[in-house]
Structure 1
Amino acid sequence: MHNYTVKYLFNGEPRTHSFELSQARLPVHEAAMHLLQLHLGDAENSLVMPTADSTPEEILEQAERVGLTRIEVVGLAG
């Protein structure tokens, strides 16, 4: 398992979150998807989430629409 630290803004407020994942690297669009699930995964409206065939650009655009911006993977330990 790998521990990733992600810095980002959520509705303009700085946040940091750590994820423990099995994958060896975490591209920014995948970090955005994890953040979408973290913040909106239980939302009643599933239209907020990108589809399984969304491109990396579409995922990042959707994240920005719901207030997740400046997503940066800043650390890996493990």
Structure 2
Amino acid sequence: MCSMAKITSCEIAFVPIVSEDYISSVDKVLDIIRSYDLEHNIGIMSTTVRGDINKIHKLIFEIYDKMDQECKFTMDIKLSNLCGCD
């Protein structure tokens, strides 16, 4: 069990489906992720964030709300309550 506060891990894979400029859409999502005070690791196919579950929920809703105005997309989200600090 972790001695620190409860940490949640989340993997987010954002895929623009109908977008005039899909690279710009992905960059906007990455900018949103970077704006949060969460540990993050940007990968080729997805981004992993770690931190407080409430901040992660807020992040997911912000991505959805902002990108809903920009393009059609899918967003695969995996959440884990295993912090990996054991």
Report TM bin, short chain.
Answer: 0.3 to 0.5
TM-score, scaled to structure 2: 0.39
TM-score w.r.t. the length of structure 1 is 0.41
